[in-house]
Amino acid sequence: MNKISLRERKKHETREKLIKAAVSLAVAHGAAKVRVEDIAAAANVSPRTFNNYFPSKEAAMLDILLQAGKLISNSINDISPDLSTDAAVRTAIISGFPEVPRRDWLSQVILMYNDPDLVLERRRIDGQIEIMAAKAIALREGVDEKRDIYPRLAAATMIATVHVAMEHWLSSETEDGFRETLGQVLDRVSIAHC
């Protein structure tokens, strides 16, 4: 049992080192100028090890987006069934983001929204999140996501809402934290009944 937990911890540490290296290199040089070999060297691993963790350098740079999407999608059905789907999705979205962002989180977010070379990867990840969230919403609603348009529409609205909130938060001079801004945006949109 200890061997498994130690192994998993080491895998997690390696993954985090790769993400940190990818983001810091992309922030310093731009995503287009960073190579997998550069990321691997900065993390003190081989390029092959990098490829065991990520399919591309862009995936490592934007891992924060995918992890937030997974967290949100996985928590939709963990929220009290007494709440409406709209309220459950809202609660899941808010909980998917740190209350007090760390500096590395902020660096990843700024990179995600400001580097034009990451737009396609961001869209690809958004598509993955939309599918995960639609499945979670369909399960909560007791409908088939392939036959009922509602789960996919609600998931797409969720993603758009997060992006609008993030872009507003990054471009405004508000002193509010991201969660506060996100809450204000969510107050103006109904995820479930758009």
User: What is the mean pLDDT of the segment spanning 46-57?
Assistant: 96
**Confidence label for 194 from pLDDT (cuts 50, 70 and 90):** very low
Mean pLDDT of 40-57: 96
Amino acid at 11: K
Of the pLDDT bands very low, low, confident and very high (cuts 50, 70, 90), residue 29 is: very high
Q: What is the pTM of this model?
A: 0.85
Query: Does residue 31 register a pLDDT over 90?
Result: yes
The model's pLDDT over 151-167, given as tens digits with 9 standing for 90+, comes to: 999 999 999 999 999 99
* Residues 98-111: tens digit of each pLDDT: 887 776 778 788 88
pLDDT one-digit tens code per residue, 2-17 = 567 888 889 999 999 9
Q: Locate all alpha helices (DSSP H) within 30-177, ordered by sequence.
A: 36-42, 47-53, 57-61, 63-75, 85-95, 103-114, 119-141, 150-171
